[in-house]
Structure formats: structure tokens, C-alpha cells
Structure 1
Amino acid sequence: MTGRATGYALFQDSFTTDYRTFKIQKEARGTFYPFALSDIMGLERDTGRGVRVEDIKLAMKGHVRDGYKFNPNAALSDQDNGYNNNPSPNDKVHVLVCVVSAYALNLIPPETMTKMREVQLAARALRIPQLAVLTRIDEVCPEVNKDIKNVYKSIYVKKQVRFYY
């Protein structure tokens, strides 16, 4: 699965442009784990760039079809081909995961943090559990770099987590 992961250079446009759902295959060919991961376009600082918060809200409710190409200039409407009028429970988001680099967390512009907060509040209103994944912690904290077990003792990492929440 990690072979499908994409790179993202800080302050550049999102690599992902459409809504993609990935099933995780078990060892036995043709069988999958009972969950899927969906990937969306990233939030961008400027208007007219990145995924729109309205589209993330629709995706959480199951209204975005797999393969829908996000339009940063216009939200998905119920008249668009990518709109799912009758989402099943399998189409809906059951856990919202936000992946953020510890290296870049304090560089995120306030406009983007505002968008992230709006998504968090929408997920909370929908009773969707949330998880934040902080990556590259070994690169920002020398103690964690020495020994990953120090992550639980790192004041720097604790501050970064508080910054997000």
C-alpha cells in the first residue's frame, strides 16, 4: 500500500486532484480488509486552490463519488456527475484522519488552519471520530531522533500536538 503514497512539497499545489478510495488487500488474492482509505486534494491557503471545505463535508456524508475531480473554484453540487445522491453506509466517512508533517505544522498559514478547524467542527457535528497523524517527528526533535520511544517525553512534540488541536 505504501507504494501508492504520494509526495507533497511544502507550499506547492496538491498532488492529489480527485477523490480516490483504496481498499487494502489481504494476503489471499481478491480479499480485502473491511475498511477503505479515501484520499482527497489537500487544503490550500489561497481561494481557488485546493479542495473546498464544502467538498470535504460532502465527502464525509458520502456524497462524493470515487474518481470525482475536485474543482477548487466551485463546490460539488447535487447536479454534478460526481455527486452521490444516495450514499450507503460504505460511502460515508467513519473516521477522519488528518496527516500533517511536524516539520511543517508551525508553517501552516492561518487561512489553512481556519479551514482545518472548520472541517474538524463539521466532523464533530457528524459524530465522526478524528485522528491526527504527526509525521517526521524524528526530524524536528533530536531526542526522538535518538530513540523513538522518547516521543512520549518530548515537550516539542506535545506542543505540536496542542498546536493542531
Structure 2
Amino acid sequence: MDSLASKLTERESEQLCDLLGNVELTLLYKASVHGYKASAFHQQCDHQGPTLLVAFNRSGYIFGGYTSVDYAQSGQAITDKKAFLFNFEEEMLFFIEVKSGHNARFDDNKGPNFGQQLYFCYNNQPVVYHQRGKAFSFDAETLYGNDTELIECEVYKKPWRNILWTADRRAELMEKIRNQKPLTTSVSCFQILMIGPVGAGKSSFFNSINSIFMGRITSKAILTTQFRTYPVKDGRAGKSLPFVLCDTMGLEEQSGAGLDIEDISSILQGHIPDRYKFNPISPFQPDEQKASRQEKIHCVVYVIDATKISLMSDKLQDKLTTIRRKVNSLGNLYVSSYIKTKVSSRLGVSVSCVLPVKNYSQEVELELNCDVLLLTALQQMLNFADDYLDDVCPMEDQPK
């Protein structure tokens, strides 16, 4: 678990991971290393998503609590139906759920607490403190043997999405993507449009996906002022895979620069041809001919650089919001790449649509973890595109 050593035994760790849904925990905070001060706890654990606190006392008790809501020093009472307390008794794990209608904890700048009943690292000391409350039903003797002196306190991060990092999983994803063809007879492959600020990584995403299926690092797509459609082949001499990644000119915050919102409408409707060069001052003027379902976009992807999301200007955020509303009004589905909380809250998309990836940039060889993340994101995009086509295509357009 990173460079910190967990005090949990392998069996204890397995039981806790199973309790949380067969996850892999990451050790964030260890009091004997970082200190028992509240400031040290918050420095390591704030804004880390769901966390599990494990305490060890002099009498050999192992106990703690889980919260699915970020620590943020908000000064607010936290409602968390998934919160619970736990302890081990003779290597058996027992847990106590938070009572309905009660707050799970108070999110302040002090040490962690559960239900404002059980406080850890109380007053910046290696102790636990218990006071009366109604959120959790427990007694101090059963939970921790009434021994308030701690010898260790650890906090673990639970991943907000489980990923299986194996070569078998990579092979499984690649095979699924090869075989995931549109069910509707009027569409031969999925059209996926990538939208994002200049330099966000749209072209790099295509290059990364292309690299995986080519089996080597490739650099086919570059930063562009054109509309480009990129099919991906299954190997150098292989057949085209059942999707096309569409790249666009980058968005810019000022008007009259970057991709125009009206051009996005034309792209979505299938009017703009491959290699069309955008003119920020004069949007594309489509003819009256209706595009086929194959030419239209089936899934829209917002590509955002996670390292720059907090620096995004209000003007650019407003432009992305306008685009999202336009996309939704046309019935298209969308998915957003990168960072759960920041992207979800700033762009107004659901957490299930946030797909973190790492593009290939400076690497000269493929890496398993990068491949699995990229393929997982692509698989979900194809699923969303499939859902869209299933929703808009009439029954007579479905295969018999």
C-alpha cells in the first residue's frame, strides 16, 4: 500500500476490503508517521473520496469507521447513509450502521469523528474519545474495551471505481470492443465526437487508442483546426474497428476564437465533412439535405485536462455548459473524461459519466495500466453510443 506499511494483517485487510465491495484500499494517513494532529490528518485525507479509518489501542482492539463523503473542513453536519463503525472480535469483523435520520459525522477542522459520538486523535493526542449520541448504537466496552489510548491510527482511501489491472482484463476489453457493432442496420460503426479546450488531449486520446490496437506507440493525429474523422484498425493490416473518433478544433473562451458552438450543431447533425477547416468568424452553413444516421454523432465526449480543471475560466465553463445543453436537446448522450468530483460538479455531468484516463505522451512502450484505463473509457463510450442508437432507431431498423 504505497510507501506506508499497513498495521492490518492480510486477513483483516481482506475482510475490510470484502465489506466495502471487494476493493483495493490505499493507505493515506498513518498517525505514527504523519502525527496525531488534526492538521496532519486533513493534509493527507481531505478531498480523497470514501475513506476507512482503522484504530489500534493498547489492549489489542482494532476498530474504526467508514464514510463515503469527502473530508473537506466544511463546518457542516454530514448525512451519509453508507457510514458505519466496525471492530474485530477474535478475527471476526462486526459493523454498526448509522441510524436513519441521523448525521454520520461533523465535518470540521478537528480530528475525525463519527456521529459526534466517537472522536479519533482527540485534541491532537493519541486517544479516542466517546460521548453520548444517537447516530450509532454501541458501547465503549464492546467496541474498544474502554481503552482510550491509541498506538496507531490509519486512514485508507477506497477507490470510487474498481478497475482490474491485469493483462487478461486488457485482452477482454479489446475483444469486447472488436465485437461491439451497432445493432441498427442503418449504422455500420459508432461515431464518437471529442470536444474540449485547446491542448486538452483530444488528438492524444485517439493516438493512445490507436497505439493499443497497433501494439506500439503511434502519433497519427495532431493538434488541428480541421474536423477530422479517425477510424482505428485492429493491427497494421487488420480491419477497421466498429467506431470512428472525431476530432475538432479546440474550444477557446473568447467569442470569435476556437470552435464555434454553431459548428458543433452541424457536426452533431452529420453535415460537416472530414478535413473541413473551421473558421471561428464564420460558422459552417449546411445545405438542406438531411444527413444519414451513420453520418451523425452518436456519443459526445468532453475531454478535459485534470491538471487544469481548477484553472478553467468561467467563460469557458459557460461555453461547455451551453454545448452540453445543446447536445442534450438533440438527444445525444455524452461522457466526460477525467476526475470524478471536479469534472462532475463543474460541468454538471453524472459521476457515472466521468472516465479518468492517461494518454500516451512521452512513453515509447505501451503500459498495462494506461491500456486498461483507456480501453475502459472507450468501452463505456461505445455503450453510451449503443444506448443512444437503441433509443432513436425505429423497430424496423433493428436486425430481424
Measured after TM superposition, the shift of residue 29 of structure 1 is 2.0
Match in the other structure for 2:225:
17
Find the partner of 1:66 among 246, 254, 274: 274
Q: Would you say how many aligned residue pairs link Structure 1 and Structure 2?
A: 132
Regions of 4+ moved over 6 Å: none
Aligned equivalents of 2:228, 2:314: Cα separation in 1: 27
Name the CA shift for 1:159/1:58 in 2 (closer, same or farther; >3 Å). same
Deviation string, structure 1 residues 93-129 (Cα, Å, up to 9, x no partner):
1000011011111211111111111111111111111
* 1:2-52 CA distance string (max 9 Å, x none): 32354xxxxxxxx32000000010137251111100000111011221000
Task: Please identify which structure carries the higher strand content.
Answer: 2
Question: What SS does the corresponding residue of 1:22 show, helix, strand or coil?
Answer: strand
Q: Distance in 2 between matches of 1:89 and 1:28?
A: 29
| Residue number in structure 2 paired with 1:141 | none
Match for residue 162 of structure 1? 345
SS in 1 for 2:226: coil
Match of 2:320 in 1: 116
Mapped partners of 1:4, 1:88: distance in 2: 28
Q: Does 1:92 align with 2:296?
A: yes
Where does structure 1 lack aligned partners over 5 or more consecutive residues?
Answer: 7-14, 138-156
Once residues 343 and 267 of structure 2 are traced to their aligned partners in structure 1, the CA distance between those partners, rounded to angstroms, is: 27
1:104 equivalent in alignment to 2:104 = no
- Residue 164 of structure 1 deviates from its aligned partner by 2.2
Q: Secondary structure at the match of 2:259?
A: coil
Instruction: Look up the equivalent residue of 2:280 and give its one-letter code.
Output: P
Look up the equivalent residue of 1:4 and give its one-letter code: K
Map of 2:360 onto structure 1: none
Matched residues in 2 for 1:86 and 1:68: separation?
18
Q: Which amino acid aligns with 1:90?
A: Q
Q: TM-score, normalised by structure 2?
A: 0.31
Shift in Å at residue 160 of structure 1?
A: 4.0
C-alpha separation between the residues in 1 aligned to 2:279 and 2:263?
9
**Over aligned residue pairs, what C-alpha RMSD do you find?**
1.9
- Give me the whole-angstrom Cα distance separating, in 2, the residues matched to 1:160 and 1:65: 30
- Larger RCO: 1 or 2 (CA < 8 Å, sep 6+): 1
Q: Distance in 2 between matches of 1:30 and 1:97?
A: 26
Q: Which residue does 1:43 correspond to in 2? A: 251
| Residue 4 (1) aligns with residue 187 (2) | no
Structure 1 residues 28, 117: closer, same or farther in 2, change over 3 A?
same
The structure richer in helix per residue is 1
Q: Percent identity?
A: 29
Counterpart residue identity of residue 43, structure 1: L
Whole-angstrom CA distance in 2 between matches of 1:162 and 1:47: 24
Q: One-letter code of the match for 1:104?
A: K
SS of the aligned residue for 2:298 comes to coil
> 2:250, 2:236 → 1: CA distance?
33
Q: SS at the partner of 1:88?
A: coil
The higher radius of gyration belongs to 2
- 5+ residue gaps, structure 2, are 1-206, 209-218, 349-400
CA contact (8 A) 2:303 2:337 kept: yes
